[in-house]
Amino acid sequence: MATNESPRRIVVWSDGCARAERIVAWAAKHAAGRTVPLHILQFSAAVALSGSGAGPIQGGFAERDPAAVDVVRVAHEMRRIQADYEELPVTFEVLHEMSPRRVVEMCGDGDVLVTDSATYLRLAGDETPATVPVVIVPEQVGKSTGAHGVLFVPGRHLSPPVADFAFRTAADLGLKLDLVRVAPNSPSFGDDYWIEPGTTANEPEPEWEAESSRLSERFPQVTASSFVLRTRPAATLGSMARSARLAVVGNDAHRELRALLDAGACPVAVIPES
C-alpha cells in the first residue's frame, strides 16, 4: 500500500529484448504491489538495432520506418502489462540515446530505477552516478520461499536513507524484514577458503538493536529481525538471498553488493547514501 513515503514512480528501461522484458515484468509486479505508477523508458527501434551489434535489418520493416516499430512495441508492452495489472497506471517514453546517463536524467526525485547489472555497473563507473535508488534485476529471478522478505544489508554502518528505503519497501509490500550484518571481526568477506568451517552464528548485537528498534517504532507494521553473520558471510548471504524477495544495500557497501550480485538470487536495490 503506497504512502506519502512511497516512491513517486517505478522507472524501468526496455530495449525490447527478452532480457529487458523480464526486467519490465518484475518492475510492473513491484509497482503494482506498492500501488505506485510504472514509467517505461523504451529505446527506439533504430537505437536498439544499431546498439545490438547486428546492424539494421536490411530491407525490413524496421529499416523503412523505425518510428512505426516503436509504436507497435509500445502498444504491445502496454497491452501485456495492463492485462496483468488492470489498475496499474503505466506511461511510456521513447529514448533516442542508448546511454545509462540519459536513463538517469529521465529519473526525478522520488523515482526508483529498475535495470540489469550491466547497466548498473556502467552507471557506477560514470562521472555522474545514479542519484536515485537503483534495483538490479538478475538474469533469472527465482521463486522466493518467503523465508526472508526484504534483506536489509547495511554494510559497516547503518545509513538512514538505506534503512528508510528497506523498511518502507517492506511496509508497502507487507513483507517481513531481516537486518543482516557481517560481524566487524569477521575475516576477509569474500575469502571463505580461509575461514574456519562451521555454522554461521546469527546473533543480534546491542549497538544495532537500538537503531533497529527506532525503525520498528516508525514502521510498526513491519516485522523485523536482526542477524549477524560471523562465518562464511558471502556464502551465507547468498543463501539468504535465494529465499528473499528483495535485498537492499547502500552504494558504499561494496563487498555485500558483490556477494549478492555473485549469488544472482534476487533483485538488489542499491541506495545512494548521501
CA separation for the pair 269, 168 (Å, rounded) = 13
Domains in the chain: ranges and CATH: 9-136 (3.40.50.620), 148-271 (3.40.50.620)
The residue with greater pLDDT, 62 or 26, is: 26
Structure confidence at residue 130 (pLDDT): 73
- Cell numbers at 106, concatenated: 529521465
CA separation for the pair 32, 173 (Å, rounded) = 10
Q: Per-residue pLDDT for 198 more than 80?
A: no
Residues, the chain? 274
Cα distances from 2 to residues 9, 61, 132, in angstroms, run 11, 42, 18
Structure confidence at residue 201 (pLDDT): 45
Give residue 6's pLDDT band: very low, low, confident or very high (50, 70, 90). confident
pTM of the model: 0.81
CA separation for the pair 61, 71 (Å, rounded) = 13
Count the helices and strands in the chain (H runs, E runs): 10, 10
pLDDT (tens digit, 9 = 90+) per residue, 43-80?
765 444 444 433 333 334 444 455 555 666 667 777 88
Q: Per-residue pLDDT for 213 more than 80?
A: no
pLDDT (tens digit, 9 = 90+) per residue, 137-147?
987 765 655 67
The residue with greater pLDDT, 168 or 190, is: 168
Which range is most confident: 16-25, 181-190, 198-207, 261-270? 261-270
pLDDT (tens digit, 9 = 90+) per residue, 229-256?
877 788 888 888 988 999 999 988 888 8
- Cell numbers at 18, concatenated: 527478452
Give residue 169's pLDDT band: very low, low, confident or very high (50, 70, 90). very high
For residues 5-28, give the mean pLDDT. 84
Q: Nearest CA to 245 among 108, 178, 146?
A: 146
The residue with greater pLDDT, 207 or 25, is: 25
With beta carbons less than 8 A apart as the criterion, state whether 165 and 132 touch: no
Contacts 24+ apart (CB under 8 A), 130-135: 130/104, 130/270, 130/272, 131/104, 131/272, 132/104, 132/107, 132/108, 132/272, 133/7, 133/165, 133/269, 133/270, 133/271, 133/272, 134/269, 134/270, 135/27, 135/30, 135/246, 135/267, 135/268, 135/269, 135/270
Classify residue 63 as left (phi > 0), alpha (psi -120 to 50) or beta.
alpha
pLDDT (tens digit, 9 = 90+) per residue, 78-126?
788 888 898 999 988 877 766 777 787 888 899 999 988 888 887 777 6
Q: Which residues pair with 248 in a beta bridge?
A: 152, 269
